[in-house]
């Protein structure tokens, strides 16, 4: 290959169909799960066989060899995971392969940015949706693996969802795909397809696996230092505040398109008697910040 950044050909790599056939075996999945649950790794052959519960050493060795070099690695101290093996177990634990749970609607304390009614969270097809049951305005709609519902109260589920969405968009904004770690690009465009019901939206698209995330402009500011400090100065911990309760995150009523070529978009965040105006470019980089008093029509409650 001519470039260090280009993928090198892999003579020992498994084709996807072959890789799935390797792990489509109860014993091999048990080996991966035992390795996952081990208090320390690497794990010796005998100890690993004992945890799996297989008496026949030769048969166990056969299955372990099928996993070695692709899903696990053999070292002088024993066996440990390769990244592919970790992904298999984490997917099983997340419930993506074998769980289809039902979750009753969760009535939320937060209110709709459009009509003021209390919001509701619903779960369907591994997706958690926060929306207004009265006017229908969506406040968030993102994948949430079934495993995230296990052993959690409704409040804990919503807190986990809040943190997950923040994490997904933080990675995407940094150019890292949250699904495959591939290179992710950012594009600002008019929301002519009414994906979010806003004037403009931000699309993150992975060049490798083609995973996509759509968001408002404001959502990219959740971990912006000046925004976090602005809230902290008003006695609010933005890091734990539900994103669906923030008007500037779920819509674009406080978003102003200053220009389209190049893109310059201003998001205005108002708390008490102050407004923080943040101008971003097409890559969601902050190009200007100013702080002052809001107009009477811009006042937003800090609650």
Q: Which residue in 286, 213, 218 sits closest to 249, CA to CA?
A: 218
Higher pLDDT, 102 or 74: 74
Give pLDDT tens digits for 81-139: 888 888 777 766 655 555 567 889 999 999 999 999 999 999 998 899 999 999 999 99
Running DSSP on this structure, what letter comes out for residue 205?
E
**DSSP symbol at 239:** T
Q: What is the mean pLDDT of the chain?
A: 86
- What percent of the chain has a predicted confidence (pLDDT) above 70? 86
At residue 151 the predicted structure's pLDDT band, cuts being 50, 70 and 90, is confident
Angle between helices 83-94 and 26-37 in degrees, nearest 10: 100
User: Which pLDDT score is estimated for 250?
Assistant: 93
pLDDT at 6: 41
pLDDT in tens, 251-286: 989 999 999 999 999 999 999 989 999 999 999 999
The terminus-to-terminus CA distance of the chain in angstroms comes to: 56
Q: Quick one: average pLDDT of 246-250?
A: 94
pTM of the model: 0.69
pLDDT digits (tens, 9 = 90+) for 17-52: 666 677 778 888 889 889 988 889 999 999 999 999
With a CB cutoff of 8 Å and minimum separation 6, the contacts of 114 are 132, 135, 137, 251
Residues 6+ apart with CB under 8 A from 205: 184, 185, 187, 211, 212
- What was the pLDDT predicted at 146? 84
Q: Is the pLDDT of residue 8 over 60?
A: no
Tell me the domains of the chain and their CATH numbers: 16-94 (1.10.10.10)
Query: With the C-alpha atoms ordered 38, 44, 45, 49, is the resulting torsion angle positive or negative?
Result: negative
């Amino acid at each position: 290959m001519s470039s260090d950044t280009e993928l090198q050909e892999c003579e020992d790599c498994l084709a996807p169909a072959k890789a799935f056939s390797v792990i489509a075996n109860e014993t091999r999945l048990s080996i991966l799960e035992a390795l996952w649950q081990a208090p320390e790794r690497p794990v010796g052959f005998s100890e690993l066989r004992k945890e799996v519960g297989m008496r026949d050493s030769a048969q166990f060795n056969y299955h372990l060899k099928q996993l070695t070099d692709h899903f696990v690695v053999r070292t002088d101290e024993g066996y440990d995971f390769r990244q592919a093996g970790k992904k298999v177990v984490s997917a099983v634990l997340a419930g993506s392969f074998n769980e289809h749970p039902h979750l009753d609607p969760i009535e939320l304390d937060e209110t709709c940015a459009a009509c003021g009614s209390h919001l509701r969270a619903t779960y369907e097809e591994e997706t958690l949706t926060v929306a207004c049951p009265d006017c229908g305005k969506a406040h968030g709609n993102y994948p949430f693996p079934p495993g995230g519902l296990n052993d959690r109260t409704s409040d804990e589920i919503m807190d986990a969802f809040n943190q997950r969405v923040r994490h997904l968009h933080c990675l995407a904004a940094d150019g890292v795909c949250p699904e495959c770690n591939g290179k992710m690009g950012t594009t600002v465009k008019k929301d002519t397809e009414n994906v979010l019901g806003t004037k403009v939206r931000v699309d993150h698209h992975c060049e490798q696996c083609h995973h996509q995330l759509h968001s408002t402009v404001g959502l990219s500011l959740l971990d912006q230092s000046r925004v976090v400090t602005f809230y902290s100065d008003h006695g609010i911990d933005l890091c734990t505040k539900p994103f669906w309760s923030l008007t500037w995150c779920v819509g674009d009523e406080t978003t102003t398109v200053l220009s389209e070529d190049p893109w310059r978009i201003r998001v205005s965040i108002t708390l008490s008697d102050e407004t923080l105006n943040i101008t971003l470019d097409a890559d969601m980089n902050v190009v200007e910040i100013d702080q002052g008093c809001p107009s009477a029509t811009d006042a937003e409650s800090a609650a």
